[in-house]
Amino acid sequence: MTATQAPAVEATDVARDESTADLAGVLGSADHKVIGRLYVGAALMFGLASAVAGVLAGIDRIDGELGNTILATDTAPQVLSFHRLSVPLLCLIPALLGLAMIVVPLQVGARAIAFPRAAAASFWGWIVGAATFAAAFALNGGPGGGRSDAVDLWLTATALITASLLLGAVCVGATVLAARTRDMTLDRVPFFSWSMLCTTAIWLLTLPVLLAITVLLYVDHRFADTLFGAGGALDSHLDWINRAPQVYALAIPLLGGALDAVATASGRRFPNRGVAFTLIGAFAALGIGAFALPTLVPAAADQPVTKGMALLVVLPVLGLVGLVGTALKDAKPQITSGLVAGVVGLLVLLLATLVGAAVPFQSLLELQGTQWISAHSHLVTGAALIGLVGGLYHWSTKIVGLAGNEALGRTAPVLIGLGVVLVAAPEAVSGLVGDAEEAVNGLEVANVVSVVGAAVLLLGSAVAVAGLARRRHDDEPSDPWAGQTLEWATASPPSFDNFDGEVPAVDSAEPLLAVQSEEGDS
């Protein structure tokens, strides 16, 4: 592992006494913690809308066909398209980016996020784009919309969303690379910060492709409708962000968050840090999917590199599960919400990689265009959601200044994991019998199970939110877990400058562990 020394950055062009106590302060803030909270809160609201759309689509196809139960024939595909595209663009990517904007600067000992005004611009650009995206669907836009101007509006919103998320990714990645405190070499950064560096690198490589395709779709739809087709065909050119290998990029933060939570819960140094860093990096590299565009480059699915990536991606996750087992062995860990979410999320992700190993062999296994693809996508996004919940609970004192309800925090990941498996299992079964992706014929019972799974997933999400929605007390601990990394040396919630005094010295990857040992000895 290369030990890259970053300069000690006191970077911020923002006034040190900036206040966010009132609405004007929040709207004009460049404090990374405020921006991150806005990102997370708005993304969760859009996630709720996306989940409702998914449940409606699931109920509608209980009898095996979309547009035949509770939704009109022309409405059902639109609802399903909104669900598919909004999960990554309106929920998971912005929520994970918001969590990273809060936590990463604290973990690396930075006084502010890199390019704080750009980080604020990324949120406001995204929220405008997200609201426009939803409005376009409501106006009969979207990929299969009946109003041409509303379809153009949807494509414009998608481009704005993508550009804004790219800008936010630059801020987070640059913070890890260039804003680390003195003596924090790159091999000493916490696992979550490392995973976000890998994640933002993948997004910077792949989201520009999504942006370029969206621009081409807009030009073609507005002036020609000859290159990419019209109507629902537009959806197929963007849906690669939900498919292997690109969908794995959503789960990279889960890996770092899980390892940080495991190390904290065990109270010991995480073994084989270099191996863990390598495995996270390998998983990220195997999640580059901008070359495997099923509609533009259909031959990519049959290339040896695509098949090899699908098979190899199992190994990093399996290796990380083994490292977690080693870290917890004989450790008598605290059973924290972060630990439960990390373990459950890794297991769901491992299952997802096993299902995904069959995706490039669709023709051979007769899975082409079936529900098997949806099963894989749901498992990966479910694992990413579990990782998000775990991160919100693990760092809740830094995010909102209070500790979440641990009983609910331990329950929510289990419910979400159970729900996503119940959603995906019937889809995998229907894929094996050859049913088309938007319809599951002759398996009404399986469809009901899938809807029940969606309800359980929604229940788990509601439990997670309920556990965080509690009143702050004066005795809220700033470090409820005896954490090992720099974010636990800050107040809860942290001040504008993050660290009230000097940033603690960093002489290892666990700078606070030695302090805790000295206090215990005394």
Q: What is the CA radius of gyration of the chain?
A: 22
Q: Which residue has the higher pLDDT, 441 or 350?
A: 350
Cβ 355 vs Cβ 314: under 8 Å: no
Q: What is the pLDDT of residues 389-434, one digit of tens each?
A: 999 999 999 998 888 899 999 999 999 999 999 999 988 888 777 6
Domain containing 239 — which CATH number?
1.20.210.10
In a domain, 240, yes or no: yes
End-to-end Cα spacing for the chain:
35
- pLDDT for position 66: 67
Per-residue pLDDT at 284 exceeds 70: yes
* Residues contacting 514, CB < 8 A, separation 6+: 507, 508
Among 283, 397, 381, 280, CA closest to 338: 397
In a domain, 1, yes or no: no
Per-residue pLDDT at 19 exceeds 50: no
- pLDDT for position 394: 95
Q: How far apart are CA 330 and CA 199, in angstroms?
A: 32
- pLDDT for position 450: 87
Neighbours of 5 (CB within 10 A): 11
> What stretch of H or E contains 438?
none
Per-residue pLDDT at 516 exceeds 70: no
- CA 410 from chain centre, in angstroms, equals 19
In a domain, 457, yes or no: yes
With a pLDDT cut of 90, the percent of the chain lying above it is 57
Neighbours of 118 (CB within 10 A): 15
- pLDDT for position 18: 46
Lowest mean pLDDT among 141-145, 333-337, 362-366: 362-366
* Average confidence score pLDDT of the chain: 87
Q: What is the pLDDT of residues 426-485, one digit of tens each?
A: 888 887 776 555 455 556 677 788 889 999 999 999 999 999 987 656 566 778 888 899
Q: Provide the pLDDT confidence category of residue 1 given band limits of 50, 70 and 90.
A: very low
Q: Provide the pLDDT confidence category of residue 209 given band limits of 50, 70 and 90.
A: very high
Per-residue pLDDT at 308 exceeds 80: yes
- Distant-in-sequence contacts of 482-485, Cβ < 8 A, 24+ apart: 482/264, 482/267, 482/516, 483/264, 483/512, 484/263, 484/264, 484/269, 484/510, 484/511, 484/512, 484/513, 484/516, 485/107, 485/190, 485/260, 485/509, 485/510, 485/511, 485/512
DSSP assignment of 70-85 equals: SS-TTTHHHHHHHHHH
In a domain, 9, yes or no: no
With a pLDDT cut of 70, the percent of the chain lying above it is 88
In a domain, 8, yes or no: no
Among 303, 207, 291, 302, CA closest to 249: 207
Q: Which residue has the higher pLDDT, 324 or 474?
A: 324
- pLDDT for position 17: 41
Range of 104's domain?
31-521
Report how many domains make up the chain. 1
Q: What is the pLDDT of residues 361-370, one digit of tens each?
A: 777 777 776 7
Report the SS3 class of residue 498.
strand
Across residues 284-298, what is the average pLDDT? 81
Across residues 184-205, what is the average pLDDT? 96
In a domain, 94, yes or no: yes
Lowest mean pLDDT among 2-11, 201-210, 235-244: 2-11
Q: What is the pLDDT of residues 479-507, one digit of tens each?
A: 888 889 999 999 888 988 998 888 888 98
What's the token pair of residue 455?
């309800």
- pLDDT for position 10: 41
Cβ 147 vs Cβ 140: under 8 Å: yes
Cβ 46 vs Cβ 90: under 8 Å: yes
Q: How far apart are CA 58 and CA 448, in angstroms?
A: 8
Q: What is the pLDDT of residues 247-272, one digit of tens each?
A: 999 999 999 999 999 999 998 899 99
Q: How far apart are CA 486 and CA 506, in angstroms?
A: 9
In a domain, 22, yes or no: no
Q: Provide the pLDDT confidence category of residue 107 given band limits of 50, 70 and 90.
A: very high
In a domain, 4, yes or no: no
